[in-house]
Amino acid sequence: MVQQVMSKRRRNEPESWYQPPEPEVCPLCRREIPPSQKDLHHLVPKLKGGKVTQSLHRICHRQIHALFTEAELAQHYFTIDALLAHPDIQSFVKWVSSKPPEFMDRTRKSNRIKR
């Protein structure tokens, strides 16, 4: 009988209004983005008039800028799908997707970009 009274009380308790936010997932590597590794990437670079941003892992964001110039990003790689279609990004994503979400490594610049 005591258990019945306690269970009725539990049913009558108000539900919490707080719902924890859904974890953000990087659209490139599909791993969860920890707050310490979150970067905002302008799909069209700010210098080229871009305003729309996308949350990415810091390592993914750095790899994009290591591979492409601002002009290339603005003209050809201004969507996640366009980035994922590039073979160098596909190779990078295949490699990084097996790493833990907190993983960070040195980013290597592309040899084809003269800076």
Closest CA to 78 of 111, 114, 41: 41
27-71 per-position pLDDT tens digit: 999 999 999 999 999 999 999 999 999 999 999 999 999 999 999
The structure's pTM equals 0.74
* Closest-CA residue to 26 (of 93, 85, 108): 93
Which tokens in the block code for residue 41? 């990437």
d(CA 5, CA 15): 19
Which residue range forms the structural domain that includes residue 84?
25-96
> Is residue 113 domain-resident?
no
Specify if 45 maps to a domain.
yes
CB 96 within 8 A of CB 59: yes
Domain count, the chain: 1
Which single residue is written with the structure tokens 């979150």? Answer: 38
